[in-house]
Structure 1
């Protein structure tokens, strides 16, 4: 049975009549479980939204931009799939550049770097000390609009300025929907065995140009950017399938130098798939161009036998994507449609995580006044035995568990 309830810690919303109100009650769940993270987050954030279908649950925070904080496929005692920065949240500290509070799926806007960047002020060098996440995407809340039995709606109006000084007035709308195995069949094209535990959710993310002028390439365009933070481990591997073909026609297979060239022992690239180590021990980011990209990527945690899949919008034939590399760019619309990130120590010895990310982006959006564009990102976690997960990995990602294990 599908249900939704709002975890009210301190204050009430206008929509409380459509949700069951629950309080915080300690149950002593083990760290790493969904129950532990649910109780922890209820202590520090108000108005959390929980969507449930049997043992499958997701937890959403309006305070953190309608962010899906974490999920489970096995109820409160099951594994918590989202990476949560417990220490930072408990401290109450607000960091200057970025607050890596965690969360399994969050809304951002691109580009990150370049002359159209939203994260660097004009004429500053593209280095970490000058990188600031806009507060609207980091510390400020989205408005909780309403919820029903299996989805929740959020929105926020904002005004942002890019590196060139262009101002963007926009409205963000975010709809989060809990998915079941029938939805998974429709989206992924194969049946999920009864013996496999699954949790899935979809985010429908829209932006509307509230300004009076059309957004223009010359002064910068935005893109919808969805990022998912997961728990890294020595036995977790990111898998990214892509289109096979020669460099002359499709370009490079992968961009692997966002934060310096990634060593071969951490990134194995083949004709139509790559494997990227997700251990949280060395910072690196990869990207796949829209000419090469397929609308899916994933990861496999061999220790816990968890297969994670991200499926997303990828308009056919569209090649203008914002370029997020940290430099002034000759080609600001030759960016990537798909990214993955492995966290690691920064130059000063500190670290944001550790975690890893699976990411997707919309094309660059040259929206007219009052025009709207939407990007959909779907996340699935499957827990089961090797035989079941083998079938899912082969059919969705085109690789076997043995092939993944050989990359470790």
Structure 2
């Protein structure tokens, strides 16, 4: 299957399904789409303002290169909105937590914590963000929100979201790597997400706090493994039941988790175990993905378990999810997710909290990808197997 994109002067470029250009052309058929690029033009990202300034996908090789984000083509093309959540995909989407508990913003006050009562706030699901400024390599978005949590506390929030794409030198500096002798293509980009209390009341623990929650959705494969580095004993939280042993492996400093989209499971790390690094390796396409995020050893993170909680601020700083069939056989994806959260901060009026989430993709010579993996994850590619 292919699409065509206009290149000007009556020329068109044929785009194969799975390519970045194909996804951009598809998105542009349905939503206004911003494409950022670095000075080479090879590193590109696609952003949809109507989806909360979401980074939908990216490429390390221009329009003909692999498209790294997972897109839900059916949902994007549909003119029908779903009641609970509209799963459009994208590799960096803005959300807010907590999802569950007495301070949840996904359940109306005093309702039971059941799927029938769960719904995503429209402000982070179907309402768009305003474009404040835009250059060839950066776009800035803004959104004012009014949310009420499960306990009835009203939040009046100003969200500022800035998305930028990196030059080669910036990636080398951030990762302490030298690519001059490496035969790899790459793309790196960052979202800087700020929530500001513009209400009339301070936010405190007794009435509930919020966190910035960034989730990236990616294409699964039988040969994709997610890497979660950790420190101390990894007392990770497991959601949606036990994870089969052929999907999960814990080494001395690294949790390996299958990103194959065939079994639903989610794990999370508390801040005391968190290293601000995540990743995945698709051995089929030979693509190494790396995620960094801001982390300052804060202890309070919102708890998203669907229950009234004894410890509402004993939540996770980092999560990863592998999609799979639900009990009724339906499936949202398949995809897998790499997620990070900001700490829960008590904010006075006009105070704010900012969270950075950075994504890189590397594709090319396997020996060079191996060097990157050894440097960042202390494991060669052969060791990234379950």
**Which residue in the other structure is 2:295 paired with?**
314
Deviation at 1:24, TM superposition (A): 12
SS at match of 1:218: coil
SS at match of 1:97: coil
Distance 2:112 2:12 in 1: 48
SS at match of 2:16: coil
**Which residue in the other structure is 2:236 paired with?**
254
CA-atom RMSD, angstroms? 1.7
**Which residue in the other structure is 1:323 paired with?**
303
Measured against aligned partners, the alpha-carbon deviations of 1:319-338 in whole angstroms (never above 9, x if no partner) come to 10001112221100000101
| Mapping 1:50-129, distance limit 5 Å | 50-53=35-38, 54-129=41-116
**Which residue in the other structure is 2:152 paired with?**
165
**Which residue in the other structure is 1:285 paired with?**
266
SS at match of 2:285: coil
**Which residue in the other structure is 1:3 paired with?**
none
Q: Residue 228 and residue 286 in structure 1: after superposition, are their counterparts in 2 closer, same or farther (change >3 A)?
A: same
Measured against aligned partners, the alpha-carbon deviations of 1:209-241 in whole angstroms (never above 9, x if no partner) come to 011211010111000100001011111010000
> Does 2:362 align with 1:375?
no
> Does 2:250 align with 1:269?
yes
Measured against aligned partners, the alpha-carbon deviations of 1:184-208 in whole angstroms (never above 9, x if no partner) come to 1221111134411000101110010
Q: Residue 169 and residue 370 in structure 1: after superposition, are their counterparts in 2 closer, same or farther (change >3 A)?
A: same
Q: Kindly indicate whether the alpha-carbon contact (under 8 Å) linking 1:51 and 1:57 is maintained by their aligned counterparts in 2.
A: yes
Structure 1 unmatched ranges of 5 or more: 1-20, 246-251
Q: Residue 76 and residue 336 in structure 1: after superposition, are their counterparts in 2 closer, same or farther (change >3 A)?
A: same
SS at match of 2:76: helix
> TM-score by structure 2 length?
0.94
> TM-score by structure 1 length?
0.89
Distance 1:167 1:348 in 2: 36
SS at match of 1:71: strand
SS at match of 1:160: strand
| Mapping 1:346-357, distance limit 5 Å | 346-357=326-337
Measured against aligned partners, the alpha-carbon deviations of 1:67-96 in whole angstroms (never above 9, x if no partner) come to 001000011111000100111212222111
Structure 2 unmatched ranges of 5 or more: 1-6
Measured against aligned partners, the alpha-carbon deviations of 1:242-286 in whole angstroms (never above 9, x if no partner) come to 0034xxxxxx53111x21122222111223210001111111110
- Select which of 293, 297, 305 maps to 2:286: 305
Q: Which moved more, 1:126-135 or 1:106-115?
A: 126-135
Deviation at 1:127, TM superposition (A): 2.9
Deviation at 1:122, TM superposition (A): 2.4
